[in-house]
A = this chain, B = another copy of it.
């Protein structure tokens, strides 16, 4: 894409009413725009990142047998009364002209469990894993963490359905591995952390990314690698090895939870086993917020000049920056742009009529992994500069070689 065409300008100043690093950088670089506290628009650059994260999540959910569907956001009151959660504080409520009460979905157990009950009757219908990428709404009292904790945000929620706890346990372990792969692919160094498990299991598991801007506290044992959320910690010593534990601030980027029969019982989700006997279905749930992942990547990966996107989720792989307006520069930059584009490399081409300094500042702020600088100075030697945003390492590359190098 040509940058002269791209909607969303960078700004030099931090937005006044934002304290989080993710919101400051994403707004300054033109990835998101703030409509109200906890409510953001995704501009073209930001939406590209969000889609890339969603696709990574989608691939990993499909790989463990997940099937994608899409549930509504507007939920009738009756769905939530069934499980006794209609009056949870987190729910936004609204009303139809006929007096119908609706809640806005902040999670979807109440919707998917009765849905599955309409299609599952036999042990032959199990196991089953269904997920969606959907907008969630939460009536958060405070929303000061940028896109990390929104009143409206994007969520991938997967629900799994099993005949027994053994089958749930096996799937839960596969989901845990899939989640680890998602965070690894997105460039997020996440710890698997034990958290409170509810009545069905002792622990649930959270994926926590250690960072000073985190809202959660994790007790981490470097000796044996067991990590626990502060909310369940009973003492300073590690319950596994007795070693000292470090207290880390962290952002929760995902969580997985064994629900057991908490929702299948009130929603009447049962199946007939091999003997024809009715049994409640055993459930698990698994959440990742792609918009929160996006914010976490920024918290984890930036410097004083701007964002440093991992290649897997970057809005573009290559940023061509043309310096000056000489014919040699314009024609070379244009040819490189076309050639990369045709090689299916995501490329942003800064064709704007601006100073080198302003272009470099924008490029550093936006944080595309590879920068190609086309200038008269290096073109005299038949080469362009190729710079990696992460390492600031710069090499001179022959113009003819560049497309081959970047298409790998």
Q: Which A residues fall within an 8 A CB radius of B?
A: 5-9, 33, 35-36, 39-44, 46-47, 50, 65, 67-76, 79, 89, 92-98, 100, 102, 104, 111, 115, 118-119, 128, 130, 135, 137, 139, 141, 151-152
Question: Closest approach, in angstroms, between the C-beta of A252 and any C-beta of chain B?
Answer: 21
Docked-complex contact B72 and A44, CB < 8 angstroms? no
Cβ–Cβ contact A151 & B96, under 8 A: yes
Of B7, B50, B67, B97, which is within 8 A of A67 by CB?
B7
Check if A111 sits within 8 Å of B9, measured CB to CB. no
Contact of A94 among B7, B94, B115 (CB under 8 A): B94
Q: In whole angstroms, how far apart are the Cα atoms of A179 and B192 in the complex?
A: 48
On whether the beta carbons of B33 and A118 are closer than 8 Å, the reply is yes
B94 contacts A68, CB within 8 Å? no
Contacts A33-B115, A119-B8; A39 near B151 (Cβ below 8 A): no
Chain B residues closer than 8 Å to A39, beta-carbon distance? 72, 74, 76
State the Cβ distance, A130 to closest chain B Cβ, in Å.
6
**Which residue on B lies nearest to A130, using beta carbons?**
B7
Cα A33 to Cα B39 with chains together (Å): 29
Q: Is the interface of A mostly helix, strand, loop or mixed?
A: mixed
Contact indicator A71/B104 (Cβ below 8 Å): no
A199 to chain B, nearest CB (A): 27
- Cα–Cα, bound, A33→B115 (Å): 8
Pick from B50, B68, B100, B139: contact of A47, CB below 8 A. Answer: B68
**Nearest chain-B residue to A76 (Cβ)?**
B36
Question: Out of B35, B47, B72, B98, which one reaches A40, CB within 8 Å?
Answer: B72
Residues of B within 8 A of A75 (CB): 35
Q: Identify which of B50, B67, B73 contacts A44 (C-beta below 8 A).
A: B67
8 other contacts beyond A47-B68, A94-B104, with CB at 8 A cut-off?
A: A33-B115, A35-B76, A36-B100, A39-B76, A42-B69, A74-B151, A98-B141, A135-B135
Nearest-CB distance from A65 to chain B (Å)? 8
Chain B residues, Cβ within 8 Å of A9: 119
Can you pick out 20 interface pairs between chain A and chain B where the beta carbons lie within 8 Å of each other?
A6-B67, A7-B69, A7-B128, A33-B115, A33-B118, A35-B76, A36-B74, A36-B100, A39-B72, A39-B76, A43-B69, A44-B67, A47-B68, A73-B135, A74-B137, A92-B102, A94-B104, A96-B139, A96-B151, A104-B104
Q: Given the complex, which residues of B lie within 8 Å of A119, measured CB to CB?
A: 7-9
Shortest 4 CB-CB contacts between residues of A and residues of B = A42-B70, A92-B94, A94-B94, A36-B76
A272 to chain B, nearest CB (A): 15
How far does the Cβ of A101 sit from chain B's closest Cβ, in whole Å?
11
Q: Which residues does chain B contribute within 8 Å of A72, judged by CB atoms?
A: 35, 39-41, 152
Q: A33-B115, A35-B111, A139-B97 are in contact. Are A41 and B71 (CB under 8 A)?
A: yes
Q: Tell me the complex Cα distance, A69–B118, Å.
A: 36
Across the interface, which residues of B come within 8 angstroms of A36, CB to CB? 74, 76, 100
